[in-house]
Structure 1
Amino acid sequence: MPGADGAPAVAMPVPIPPGVVPAAVYRKAVWRLIPLLFILYIASFLDRVNLNHAEIPFSKDLGLDKSQYGFGAGLFFVGYLLSQVPSNMILVRMGPRRWIACIMVTWGLISGAMAFATDKNSFYCLRFLLGFAEAGFFPGMLLYLSYWFPSTMRAQMVGRFMTAIAVAQVVGSSLSSQLMKLDGVAGLHGWQWLFLIEALPSILLTVVVLKAMVNRPSEASWLNRDEAAWLDAELTADRARVAAVGRSDLRAAFTEPRVYLLMAVYLADCLANYGTTFSITSLIQNSGNFDQITAIWLTAIPYSAATVAMIVVGWNSDRTRSPRAHVAIPYLVGAAAFLSATFCMTQPVPFIICASIGVAAVYCALGPFWALPATFLAGPASAAGIAVINSVGNLGGFLGTFLKGSFTPTIWFQIAAGFLIVGAIVTMSLRLPRQGGDR
């Protein structure tokens, strides 16, 4: 509510009941929620990117050229675009626990069905359906985190949760290298075993979600009554503070200029990210003429670096309350690393070093980036705005995976660097509220 002088009113601090220790309450929430979300996101990301590890034999067996493979891989993001906003609205109505369980079992079954793709048309269809089914998971998790943590803690919480991307690449690299060795077992190709086995966690974890996920603090058996009441009140006050300096109406997701600027930033991020992520294994393989299994193991190096960077940068972003800088600076470092990589594409050690710096830089910006909408969107605007930014931005995933097949790796790394530089410039142009926002 505006104050009498027209300035936004400042919400009063929430009284802390006797016996309630805020740090202890948040610590309980972190240990109860983040590990579960982390595991779920690993399963999600494995099903999204395991195609990367099977690219060469999968394309050969289905008779796909680079352009067809890139187009099919990118169709995931078309389905992703169409489903995200309605999926987040359903989550608000149905509750996170039941809706996340529904979409997980659906995408798990579709991912497993990739083992039975026989030509480009079945490949295209399954990738589209996988994106459509999985679309609600990531924006749903970002919204779910807002039910438990205030905006001033969002970058580090999102960063911890999203380290699952990097860990999924490490785990996926190791697991995929072993599954590819099953080539010929029971008459199946190695890539068929990869899709079948890596789909199982998503399906089986549905039971865990239904048992362990708690929608809101008031439903948590591991918080006492005073702790749950205080946390609910604190989060309500946080949303009020954001709404006072930003917007909470649903229309804001479609009319707020800063939402469109964040779409542009995330579009640039995804263009650079997915265009390189979906080729990193083959690029490492070609840099030193490694066999496929060795290249898959080496792919773990960049994503191990990204895991550490995401935790450190997310924590420091919240500590200094400077999310813009913690997005823009990593983008510029990533651009420099990708440009450097173009000079050593056939030298494995320097190429892997440059790729590791570039991947770590791009990934560590994700936590602070997703803290930015929380500085000016609350309530329905936050639910829809997160989905809109993610869905439109992820068109970069489609364009990146498709377009990279039309360029040499050297030229694509230069293009990716350009996208990151643009993303850094647009990020620093954002005008954000000072209260709970960017310094």
Structure 2
Amino acid sequence: MNTLAQTTGPDTHAPKPAADAVYSKIAKRIVPFLVLLWLTAWLDRVNVGFAKLQMLQDLGLSEAVFGLGAGIFYVGYLLFEVPSNLFLEKIGARKTIARITILWGLTTIATGFVHSATSFYVLRFLLGAFEAGLYPGVILYLTYWFPARRRAQMVGLFMTGVPLGGILGGPIAGWIMGSMGGHLGFANWQWLFLLEGIPPLILGIVTIVALTDKPAQARWLTDGEKHLVLADLEQDQKAMGITRHSFFDALRSPQVWLLTLIYFCLVSANPTLGFWTPTIIKGLGVKSDVVIGLLSSLPYVIGVCATILVGRHSDKKLERRYHCALSTLAAATGLVLIGWFANSPTLAFLALVLAVAGVLSAFAPFWQMPTMLLSGSAAAGGIALINSLGNLSGFVGPALVGWLKDITGKTSTGLYAVAGLEVLCTVLILVFMPRASRQAAAVGDLRKS
């Protein structure tokens, strides 16, 4: 027993190379598949931004209708995300994620057959309802496998699905929009939804085989490796001290509601940029759908690097507050500069790069804040509550940009409003979030001992 404790104990006491090897093994096994899921989800969430280039004209829809339809996705999110995450805790990640991916794939395919504003609204709502639970479910799922001091990097790696979706999605959507129109009687935007709805159907089936719910069930871990992970997670819980365990505890926590408000402001730029980037680039004078697709991918290349580096540095320093706040400030700056440099395409595009990299890099440090406060059902429900209510800004942001563009004729007016939300996020974090968590301090003490 003593030998086992010395070689496979918690990360804070086990030899660091041994612990690093175990967590590297886990990361290589589960994180790439999670990234693929999120990449596919992001493609199906924002492909409407590319479809818009022809869809509005074919269906006779206004910019305001598009903005509302793009954002109504998040209403479905709001209503179904908390139940989905609570259900995940009871039945496991495999069954939950399989259900999510298959249903959102079917809904994406169905979107290729919309014929009116009403059908567009309904399917966007259903897409949000069916996809609800994937993102907070993965955040919760990672808490089953990684201690907090390793988790920001894992969340950062998971979040690379968004920029990778931008890198791959732009050229793919541009190619489909530029070459598939008219085949078999379908418009180019219809082909976009039809073809991009197939991968999640396949992934839903693969999920059952590819994912393991918890470390204790992992046949690909040795008994010693399982012991190391479980002991490390138990030590993590002790370091956090008293945490809230039930969902009702989370509802009563002022900190949860503060985090919800912060996340609402943070998220606003992400779907806004995802939905409106093709339009922004087209407004800079680019006419070809293929070129628009290629240029749309470039900001996300930088976004991948920023997301990984910020998450890794946040774990190294055990600091979340400044990493998140400075990232949202960068996003706000980029959004403002897009409008200011509207007549200078090169500078406006560089501002777009800054905005995308800034908002993407904020997510990894942010999601370490709720998991420092919550565990059990409180973590499952609290994370979903923060994500679902916070994601309502995904409804507000795109709809606001569309509404203000109809009124002013300029996309930049709406971007300024979204920039204001990012600034508010920065202020809320710096003013109200504590400088250091109890967990970080405890872990630091353990490392010194």
- With the length of structure 2 as denominator, give the TM-score of the two structures: 0.91
Structure 1: stretches of 5+ with no match in the other structure? 1-11
SS at match of 2:438: coil
Task: State the 1:14 CA deviation.
Answer: 7.5
Q: Tell me how far apart the structure 2 counterparts of residues 46 and 32 of structure 1 sit (CA, whole Å).
A: 23
- Seen in structure 2, the aligned counterparts of structure 1 residues 420 and 53 have a Cα distance that, compared at 3 Å, is same
Task: State the 1:356 CA deviation.
Answer: 0.1
Matches within 5 A, 1:133-212: 133-180=130-177, 181-212=179-210
Matched, 1:398 2:414: no
Query: What corresponds to 1:340 in structure 2?
Result: 337
- What's the CA shift string for 1:145-204, capped at 9, x where partnerless? 011001111211101001100110111101111111100011111111111111111000
Task: State the 1:18 CA deviation.
Answer: 9.9
The amino acid of 1:258's aligned partner reads Q
Task: State the 1:432 CA deviation.
Answer: 6.4
Q: Tell me how far apart the structure 1 counterparts of residues 436 and 336 of structure 2 sit (CA, whole Å).
A: 34
Matches within 5 A, 1:11-410: 21-180=18-177, 181-242=179-240, 244-407=241-404, 408-410=410-412
Task: State the 1:347 CA deviation.
Answer: 2.1
- Seen in structure 2, the aligned counterparts of structure 1 residues 204 and 13 have a Cα distance that, compared at 3 Å, is closer
Do 1:20 and 1:227's aligned partners in 2 also have CA atoms closer than 8 Å? no
Structure 2: stretches of 5+ with no match in the other structure? 1-8, 405-409, 445-449
Q: Tell me how far apart the structure 1 counterparts of residues 324 and 186 of structure 2 sit (CA, whole Å).
A: 44
Q: Tell me how far apart the structure 2 counterparts of residues 50 and 236 of structure 1 sit (CA, whole Å).
A: 42
SS at match of 2:314: helix
Task: State the 1:92 CA deviation.
Answer: 0.8
Q: Tell me how far apart the structure 2 counterparts of residues 74 and 309 of structure 1 sit (CA, whole Å).
A: 26
Do 2:42 and 2:165's aligned partners in 1 also have CA atoms closer than 8 Å? yes
Task: State the 1:236 CA deviation.
Answer: 2.7
Query: What corresponds to 1:3 in structure 2?
Result: none
Identity of aligned residues (%): 36
Range that drifts further, 153-162 or 336-345: 336-345
Q: Tell me how far apart the structure 1 counterparts of residues 35 and 434 of structure 2 sit (CA, whole Å).
A: 31
Do 1:111 and 1:195's aligned partners in 2 also have CA atoms closer than 8 Å? yes
Task: State the 1:339 CA deviation.
Answer: 1.8
Task: State the 1:297 CA deviation.
Answer: 1.1
Q: Tell me how far apart the structure 2 counterparts of residues 128 and 334 of structure 1 sit (CA, whole Å).
A: 27
RMSD, aligned CA: 1.9
Task: State the 1:336 CA deviation.
Answer: 1.9
Query: What corresponds to 1:419 in structure 2?
Result: 421
- With the length of structure 1 as denominator, give the TM-score of the two structures: 0.93
Aligned residues: 427
- Seen in structure 2, the aligned counterparts of structure 1 residues 226 and 183 have a Cα distance that, compared at 3 Å, is same
- What's the CA shift string for 1:278-309, capped at 9, x where partnerless? 11111111112432221121011111111110
Q: Tell me how far apart the structure 2 counterparts of residues 412 and 437 of structure 1 sit (CA, whole Å).
A: 38
Do 1:288 and 1:347's aligned partners in 2 also have CA atoms closer than 8 Å? no
Q: Tell me how far apart the structure 2 counterparts of residues 434 and 253 of structure 1 sit (CA, whole Å).
A: 18
Task: State the 1:143 CA deviation.
Answer: 0.6
Q: Tell me how far apart the structure 2 counterparts of residues 268 and 328 of structure 1 sit (CA, whole Å).
A: 11
Task: State the 1:388 CA deviation.
Answer: 0.3
Q: Tell me how far apart the structure 1 counterparts of residues 51 and 229 of structure 2 sit (CA, whole Å).
A: 45
- What's the CA shift string for 1:30-88, capped at 9, x where partnerless? 10011010111111111111111111211111111011111111111000100000000
